[in-house]
Amino acid sequence: MSKLVLSHLESLESSIRKHAGADIWELVKDDLKSIKENSKLEYVAIKMQEAINTLIKAVDEKAFLNIMFERGCYCANSHMNDIEKKRTEYIKKGSIDEYIDSLVNTKTPGLYYFRDGKELYLAYKTRELKVGCYCPLLRKLSDGALLPQAYCECSRAFVQYTWERVLERNVTVELEGSCMSGKGECRFKITV
């Protein structure tokens, strides 16, 4: 297991304590306490799935979504070098439309942008990437394992945080479906 995964677990603790309280963290911690630095990612994914299910049962929807949103922003922030490269590319293109066109025309395994009229979409095809989920904590979750789509608020926040840093303005990102909730891909509608 990587230090990145450990830092994500520490950040999860912070988010749960902030939005749900120490008593809820104690419940969730029971599902995660057996994870060690040498734990295999498959084991981390199973324990994380258990922890998310415990959390969903213990908090209201607003608290859960706030925790997941904060998690997504934290994760995106840990990829700031990539975001800065995207920002530089956006500036080089000179306009939002040219930048978006370059994304639509770029072929990346398991990840693609497309337009439907004026709307921009981002989709992850996790099966092409041979992972259960794009999230590093659930990447090795077994094929067919499911979590409520609300978990993917984390990914929605990741996409929003990234685009807002690239464009240096507010954007709206809607989650239209996710692999973890049984869809064939994770799809986000991005309104810039």
pLDDT value, residue 8: 84
Q: Where are the alpha helices (DSSP H) in the chain?
A: 3-20, 22-32, 41-58, 61-77, 80-93, 96-104, 126-129, 153-167
Does position 1 have pLDDT exceeding 70, yes or no? no
Over residues 55-94, the pLDDT tens digits come to 999 999 999 999 999 999 999 998 999 999 999 999 999 9
Lowest mean pLDDT among 37-41, 174-178, 179-183: 179-183
